[in-house]
Amino acid sequence: MDKALGRFGKMERSLARSNTYHILSRCFTYPDEKIYSWISEGEWLMKLRDSLNLLADDNFDGYLIAFEEVIDGKQKAIQPEMARDYARYFVITLPPVIDPSYGSIDLEKGDPVLGKADTEELRFFHEVGLTLRDDRGDLSDHIASKLKFMGILADQESRVSGGEKIRLEEVQLAFLSRYIIPWVPTFCEKATKQNGLLFYCVLGELTREFISFEKDYLGFTEEVDSSKDLKSETPRRFI
């Protein structure tokens, strides 16, 4: 930990986790011209490397090197190719190439029930004392939104201490247990087996490994009670 702090200054573990979640979330977003430009410029990769090296030293280096191939090397993809593969893997199609990137569909093994998922997650936010922006633009059953919300929680945790820090760790564990662990690792494993662009294969592998790290970091066990009372006296808004 002291070695990591020496390299990365004032960054601490909860902020490094937040950075990682936000970057993974954006990588799972449809690669329009704006997202593709962000991926190609590659500044995110340096931030991701710093964050993951702080958390787990060089355990993620293989994935980061593979991402470098996507940005500057032989595996570099153009925007239409990325958009095509994204649509194949992460947009609902009939029949789907893999289970769609929506948790409710994968868990229910049937038609989309995104309204039900939204309602359940709204109830979760209320239980832990969080309120959403009025437009609810961030709320979705899509994997990108779930990862983004974990990033928001980790960022909030980095700004507090004491009992509130512990409470936010418990909130993260509860959300991870309810809405990520049951299907995200399996979904990512299926994504890695597709015969397509290296970018999404590496993204799936890295996300699966990072969720495994998070299980250990937050203390997940099969006996975790994700329904325990996590309420805060003062509701918080997140952006």
Give the 3-state secondary structure of the chain: CHHHHHHHCCCCHHHHHHHHHHHHHHHCCCCCHHHHHHHHHCHHHHHHHHHHHHHHCCCCHHHHHHHHHHHCCCCCCCHHHHHHHHHHHHCCCCCCCCCCCEHHHHHHCCCCCHHHHHHHHHHHHHHCCEECCCCCCCCCCEHHHHHHHHHHHHHHHHCCCHHHHHHHHHHHHHHHHHHHCCCHHHHHHHHHCCCCCHHHHHHHHHHHHHHHHHHHHHCCCCCCCCCCCCCCCCCEECC
pLDDT, position 192: 80
165-219 residue pLDDT tens: 999 999 999 999 988 998 888 888 877 877 778 899 899 999 999 999 999 999 9
Alpha carbon distance 49, 46 (integer Å):
5
Query: 22-26, 143-147, 155-159 — which is least confidently predicted?
Result: 143-147
pLDDT, position 54: 94
Which candidate, 120, 98, 104, places its Cα nearest to that of 186? 98
Query: 13-17, 42-46, 71-75 — which is least confidently predicted?
Result: 71-75
Query: 2-11, 21-30, 136-145, 222-231 — which is least confidently predicted?
Result: 2-11
Band (pLDDT 50/70/90 cuts) for residue 141 is low
Q: Which residue has the higher pLDDT, 167 or 104?
A: 167
Instruction: Select, from the ranges 6-10, 67-71, 224-228, the one with the highest average predicted confidence (pLDDT).
Output: 67-71
Q: How many CB atoms lie within 10 A of CB 116?
A: 12
Alpha carbon distance 182, 197 (integer Å):
26
Query: Tell me, what amino acid is at 65?
Result: I
User: Does residue 232 carry a pLDDT above 60?
Assistant: no
CA atoms within 13 A on the CB side of 1: 3
Q: Which residue has the higher pLDDT, 61 or 91?
A: 61
Band (pLDDT 50/70/90 cuts) for residue 118 is low
User: Does residue 111 carry a pLDDT above 60?
Assistant: no
Alpha carbon distance 130, 174 (integer Å):
14
User: Does residue 109 carry a pLDDT above 50?
Assistant: no
pLDDT, position 234: 40
Mean pLDDT of 151-175: 91
User: Does residue 156 carry a pLDDT above 80?
Assistant: yes
pLDDT, position 224: 54
Query: How high is the mean pLDDT of the chain?
Result: 77
Write out the two tokens for 157: 């945790």
CATH topology of domain 2-237: TorD-like (1.10.3480)
User: Does residue 9 carry a pLDDT above 80?
Assistant: no
Mean pLDDT of 111-128: 60
- The residues spanned by each domain of the chain are 2-237
Mean pLDDT of 70-90: 84
Alpha carbon distance 180, 169 (integer Å):
15
Mean pLDDT of 112-136: 59
